[in-house]
A and B are shown apart, each in its own frame.
Chain A
Amino acid sequence: MAEQRDPIVGIDLGTTNSVVAIVVDGQPQVLDEAGEKLLPSVVGINPQGQLVTGVAAKNQLAAFPDRTVASIKRRMGRMDPVPMGDQSLMPPEISAIILRRLRDRACRAIGQPVNRAVITVPAFFDENQRQATREAATLAGLTAERIINEPTAATLVYHAGSQDRKQIAVYDFGGGTFDVSIVRMEAGVTEVLSSRGDVHLGGDDLDQVLMDYVSQQFQAEHGVNLQENGTSRHRLWQACEQAKRRLSTEETTQITEEFIAEKAGQPLHLTATITRSKFEELIEPFVERTIESLDGALREAAMTIHQLDDLVLVGGSTRIPLVETRLREEFLREPSRAVDPDLAVALGAAVQAAMIEGQSVGPVLVDVTAHTLGIEACVGMTWTGPQMQFSPIIHRNSPLPARYEQAYSKMADEQKMTEVHVLQGEHSETDRNQSIGKFMLNLKEGGGERNKIVVRFELTLDGTLKVTATQPATGLSQELTINNALSQFQAGERSHAEARLEEMFNRSDEFFDDDDEIGFAKQWNAEATDFERVQPTAQSEALELQSPEAAELLKKAAELKTPLEDQDSQDLESLCENLKQAINADDPEMVASLSAELDDLLFYVR
């Protein structure tokens, strides 16, 4: 059925969403449909009796639950019929419908038939479940060239082509499930050493805990439970889910829903302010559960954190800053998270597909920050004064463009200004990082909310960093734009470095001057006036043959050009010129005399 020349696509057949990707010119790309990269893994029969998939099926799920099927992945491997309208389908048949839709999407996107695929499954899938996935592919008209584990695919995104032995933890925190795997890569072979998870832990739990908090606050104020009324609850959920997303970059967010409920005929409005620290306090127990699972997976693989070479983040919930912070603290390394965590598994499957086709594929290229960016902050007081440290705001390897806010406090209520010192580097000690700018922020005195200072970093793809410091309680704000923030050097330091290197190049035999023509076209005589060093030419070789001692002296003189005072330089230049003429005129006495004179001069000026 499948021709060997057909392209092979990579498919992430997910519980909630599915994605299809392919490698083009050595780089994997997600194939979208009208801009939509994710296809909801939902299948249904609409009121007109037609088969619907994706967004349309998801939209009708709550209206016609008896005609719609979601999360079929959870039932793969069991041959229990699933009712869908007046039909009963087996789980592989439902999955086949999703795969067929993905196949059609791929055909349309690349403009040629697609008959082969690499499909990902969870590491914990048993042989029955894998076989069911293979059968689903066949029913969809696809040959499953390989069924690979999701953590393996995620690993390939970051480490494709690597032959070194690497041990990698893949942390997958999605909307409804969590799992973590320890993977070993060696000589192109990937093996899952251990895998743990919680099929009932995901971003939905985080939405719920935020909803509970906001509705409790509302009830305390107005005596109305927003979760009792279906409409209010739905609006509250939408608002909380959006707030959760905003808190991934913003330090504080507002939840505002007007006319959300009524009491005794009076309309009630919801206005709540959620800080990132409050949200983190609410979700911390869930994040700790994931860390415990990761510890468990490590123990199962008989490994310690120090043996890990990388920590790969997958799943939308890994965008939450607390997740990243806790993993960084626990594993003492910067996680790999440059690739969109919702698409990483599909991209990895595409990489595997390309490898089967014999294509050479490297790691996925994504624009990331090469260094950590942050500010200098006081972390405590010692008897010598404030203890300053580098406080990272945008971490190394963050995908670009990047935006993040961090809250700080004034050191004293009566403080009238603060210096925002922007740094780049990886050390906690301020001095060991690169200073890339600083500015002052005027503050209004006072305690409470006036103590809070929010620093916002916005880094664009071209490396422009906008730093904004604000005292939210007063609205006082100041900003600084740093161009080329991704460079190692500040403008002033760069020119200094250029001058220093230029001098070193000039003094070295190994480098050409910019003015030099390639191919050694310049002649010794032509250069003699400016003492530039070139490779020996035929003429200079002749000079050496005629008078090797004089030629050696001329060589030494040329090396001394730069450090000499003006007068010495002129004397040296004149003497060298006369010596060369004497050599050319074949006047041994003059050569000897001038050589002695040059030798003396060189002795004194060195």
Chain B
Amino acid sequence: MLAEQIQAAVTNIQSLELKLQAGPQDRGSDSEEGHGIGPLVLLITDTEHQLSRAISAIAQWESTRQSRREADQKSVEQFFAGMSPLARWFARPLLTFIAGQHSALETSAENSAMTGLNLVLARLRGTMKEQAIERLDTLGQEFDANIMHAIGRIVTKDYPAGHVAEQLSPAYLWQGRVLRFADVRVAQ
């Protein structure tokens, strides 16, 4: 499933690259006079935002799962520790088997899939750099209305008041011009 998603993302990015390499006449309204921002540029920023958000969510999910696995393993070990020495001796192969299962899970295809997704993202960011599309992350920065759009406030001690305490989406610039404001929550 994840492999299919990666393949689809790669295909999309290849298509984007082809369009960007094509002449301006083939790019639709990218080359529109004046202030027109082409749908292709917006699509790139959307794709980058979605892909990085997905990677971040998967990483977070993976981290939660890892914590749970560790907690499970600890419980098993505690359970075995509570057994009599004889019972522990007899149960040793089972403990070895369970530990083996855990390590097998850790080195499963998901790690490889995550690596693949990160490669896709790196490739997309390379394309963005070539096209002068810049991503700006704002977490912890002082609020700047020229590149950020506040959607609310948060009471927190982690960041000084008036600084970005949560970033929902980053800002994107194209040729120095704001394509998309960062959606943020500001520390109160």
Contact = CB atoms under 8 A, between A and B. Distances in A.
Interface of A: 32, 34-36, 46-47, 52, 55-64, 230-231, 234-235, 258-259, 262, 265-267
B14 to A, nearest CB: 21
A334 B33 CA distance: 34
B152 A35 contact: no
B68 A57 contact: no
A258 B54 contact: yes
A562 B53 CA distance: 79
A231 B166 contact: yes
Contacts of A35: 34-36
16 contacts: A36-B35, A47-B142, A55-B145, A59-B145, A59-B148, A60-B143, A62-B151, A62-B186, A63-B153, A63-B162, A64-B186, A234-B151, A258-B50, A258-B53, A259-B54, A267-B57
Nearest to A44: B145
Given A47-B162, A234-B183, A265-B68, A63 B57 contact: no
Contacts of A32: 35
A60 B54 contact: no
B65 A62 contact: no
B95 interface: no
Interface string B3-41: 000000000000000000000000000000011100000
Contacts of B183: 234
Q: In the complex, which of the residues B50, B151, B162 has the most CB atoms of chain A within 10 Å of its own CB atom? A: B151
Nearest to A259: B57
Contacts of A63: 143, 150, 152-153, 162, 184, 186
A60 B50 contact: no
Contacts of A57: 145
Contacts of A56: 145-146
A265 B64 CA distance: 7
B149 interface: yes
Interface in B56-114: 57-58, 61, 64-65, 68
Given A59-B146, A230-B185, A234-B151, 16 more contacts: A34-B35, A35-B34, A35-B36, A46-B145, A56-B146, A60-B143, A61-B150, A64-B162, A230-B152, A231-B166, A234-B152, A234-B168, A258-B50, A258-B53, A265-B68, A267-B61
A258 B148 CA distance: 23
Contacts of B54: 258-259
Contacts of B151: 62, 230, 234
B181 interface: yes
- Main secondary structure, interface of A, reads mixed
Q: In the complex, which of the residues A55, A59, A262 has the most CB atoms of chain B within 10 Å of its own CB atom? A: A59
A152 B146 CA distance: 36
Contacts of A231: 166, 168
- Main secondary structure, interface of B, reads mixed
Contacts of B181: 59
Contacts of A259: 53-54, 57
A234 B34 CA distance: 31
A58 B148 CA distance: 10
A383 to B, nearest CB: 52
Contacts of A234: 151-152, 168, 183
B29 to A, nearest CB: 12
Q: In the complex, which of the residues B36, B142, B183 has the most CB atoms of chain A within 10 Å of its own CB atom? A: B183
Contacts of B168: 231, 234-235
Smallest CB-CB A-B distances: 5 pairs: A35-B35, A63-B150, A259-B57, A63-B186, A56-B145
Contacts of A34: 35, 177
Contacts of A52: 145
Contacts of A55: 145
A34 B65 CA distance: 48
A60 B166 CA distance: 15
A231 B162 CA distance: 19
A62 B152 contact: yes
Contacts of A62: 150-153, 186
A371 to B, nearest CB: 28
A278 to B, nearest CB: 25
A266 B148 CA distance: 30
A378 to B, nearest CB: 37
Contacts of B185: 230
Contacts of B53: 258-259
Contacts of B186: 62-64
Contacts of A61: 150
Contacts of B65: 265
Nearest to A264: B64
Contact of B150 (A59, A258, A266, A267): A59
A604 B34 CA distance: 74
B19 to A, nearest CB: 21
Nearest to A231: B168
Contact of B145 (A60, A230, A262, A265): A60
A545 B162 CA distance: 104
A231 B68 CA distance: 25
B17 to A, nearest CB: 23
Interface string B148-187: 1111110000000010001010000000010001011110
A34 B143 CA distance: 23
Contacts of B166: 231
A47 B150 contact: no
Contacts of B153: 62-63
Nearest to A35: B35
Nearest to B164: A63
A478 B36 CA distance: 32
A234 B146 CA distance: 20
A59 B149 contact: yes
B156 to A, nearest CB: 13
Nearest to B161: A47
B81 to A, nearest CB: 27
A315 B64 CA distance: 48
Nearest to B149: A59
B98 to A, nearest CB: 21
